[in-house]
């Protein structure tokens, strides 16, 4: 456990989740110089009933704080990641003067669409919202992608919860209540200083190209030529290692700023390449883009993801200076699957931002802003950073 005065975290691993919850809460609260205003917790366990009991215990031990949490297939705390092992991670913060509004979201079906209900109204001094969602019951992609219509430029940060048993076993928690579906979160307002870092971990290959013909999520033409021909041309010019990366999971980046003179790593919203249509010489991607948008194919591996995260965190430290605490939401495809260790992202934050309190979970999809707009990501590390510097007139994503 790392001790601080305003932020602290606790981690407990063992077969008894309720005992883990008690231990992790005590560790976190003992590191604070005052009672907590915000508590976030994350539980990995086989039995959803045990997860529920552990969640209730956490909430009962912090009755005067705003508390949110979720189940997961892995948790982050105490400078390490724990995957698919019974464990509880707790993060606590003293945010003097801040206004914290917890919420629970649900969906109602109308004649032709779903309507999300439960979102608090925005205020002029709102700075960010933390969001945990059940990927099986809540339309996270649609809600996040259209969040600007309701929330304006408010950053959303968090991730999709999960459970070892999958569908039906996810548990969400907010202020004493257990939710088996939907989404929960907390709105951060008033004198609280936050920023976000979203590391998508990709490297561009080939040139930037304008989309010149498209149908739904099928890229038909890139720079006036069949999209598949363009892709084959790019791949043929790669070395053997990069061709292997293409074969293991090709990505595409959609430029966030069409007016930039150059589009390099970090300038794109990353989406997956889903397949090809040889008859139409088309490339299917995991998004719908308009004619005229600039795109560039991308690859991802451990070295690229490592470099990207460290560069973004270093840039954040140089711009904002001292950091007090952070919440970390890492894709469940990162950790040991990508880096050979579940600790990578947590260690990266400590390496770059200092000996701060960090906790979070391995998500089934990460939420965070890129280019000033909220998106759902994959294979990403999304970080909410708390600092002592003024939050006014400051960008939220890097």
Domain chopping of the chain, boundaries: 7-199+304-387, 202-299
Q: What are phi and psi of 5, to 5 degrees?
A: -95, -35
Rg (CA), the chain: 21
3-state secondary structure 170-185: CCEEECCEEECCCEEE
pLDDT of residue 389: 53
Sequence-distant (≥ 6) Cβ neighbours of residue 398 within 8 angstroms: 195, 196, 197, 198, 312, 315, 316, 319
Q: From first to last of its 398 residues, what are the pLDDT tens digits of the chain?
A: 444 479 999 999 999 999 999 999 999 999 999 999 999 999 999 999 999 999 999 999 999 999 999 999 999 999 999 999 999 999 999 999 999 999 999 998 777 777 889 999 899 999 999 999 999 999 999 999 888 888 889 999 999 999 999 999 999 999 999 999 999 999 999 999 999 999 999 989 999 999 999 999 999 999 999 999 999 999 999 999 999 999 988 999 999 877 776 666 667 899 999 999 999 999 999 999 999 999 999 998 899 999 999 999 999 999 888 899 999 999 999 999 999 999 999 999 999 999 999 999 999 999 999 988 999 999 999 999 999 754 444 444 43
- Helix, strand, coil percentages, rounded to 5, for the chain: 25, 40, 40
Query: Which one, of 142, 146, 145, 100, lies nearest residue 123 by Cα?
Result: 100
pLDDT of residue 297: 96
Q: pTM for the full model?
A: 0.91
């Amino acid at each position: 456990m790392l001790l601080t005065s305003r932020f602290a975290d606790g981690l407990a691993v063992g077969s008894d989740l309720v005992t883990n919850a008690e231990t992790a809460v005590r560790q976190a609260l003992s590191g604070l110089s005052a009672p907590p205003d915000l508590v976030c917790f994350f539980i990995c366990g086989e039995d959803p009933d045990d997860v529920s009991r552990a969640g209730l215990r956490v909430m009962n031990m912090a009755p005067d704080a705003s508390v949110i949490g979720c189940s997961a297939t892995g948790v982050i705390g105490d400078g390490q990641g724990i995957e698919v092992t019974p464990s509880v991670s707790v993060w606590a913060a003293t945010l003097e003067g801040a206004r914290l509004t917890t919420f629970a979201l649900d969906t109602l079906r109308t004649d032709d669409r779903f309507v999300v209900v439960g979102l608090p109204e925005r205020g002029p001094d709102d700075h960010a919202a933390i969001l945990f969602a059940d990927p099986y019951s809540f339309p996270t992609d649609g809600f996040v992608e259209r969040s600007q219509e309701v929330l304006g430029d408010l950053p959303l940060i968090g991730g999709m919860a999960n459970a070892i048993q999958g569908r039906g076993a996810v548990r969400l928690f907010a202020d004493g209540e257990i939710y088996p579906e939907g989404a929960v979160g907390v709105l951060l307002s008033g004198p609280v200083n936050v920023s976000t870092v979203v590391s998508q971990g990709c490297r561009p290959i080939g040139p930037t190209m304008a989309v010149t013909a498209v149908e739904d999520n099928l890229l038909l033409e890139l720079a006036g030529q069949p999209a598949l021909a363009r892709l084959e041309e790019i791949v043929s010019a790669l070395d053997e290692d990069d061709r292997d990366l293409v074969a293991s999971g090709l990505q595409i980046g959609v430029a966030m700023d069409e007016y930039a003179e150059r589009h390099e790593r970090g300038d794109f919203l990353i989406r997956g390449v889903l397949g090809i249509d040889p008859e139409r010489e088309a490339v299917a991607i995991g998004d719908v883009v308009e004619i005229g948008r600039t795109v560039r194919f991308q690859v991802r591996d451990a070295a690229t993801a490592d470099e990207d995260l460290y560069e973004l965190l270093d840039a954040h430290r140089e711009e904002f200076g001292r950091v007090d605490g952070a919440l970390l939401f890492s894709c469940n495809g990162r950790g040991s699957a990508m880096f050979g260790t579940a600790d990578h992202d947590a260690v990266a934050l400590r390496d770059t931002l200092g000996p701060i309190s960090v906790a979070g979970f391995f998500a089934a999809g990460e939420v965070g802003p890129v280019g000033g707009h909220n998106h759902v990501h994959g294979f990403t590390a999304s970080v909410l950073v708390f600092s002592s510097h003024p939050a006014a007139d400051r960008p939220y994503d890097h």
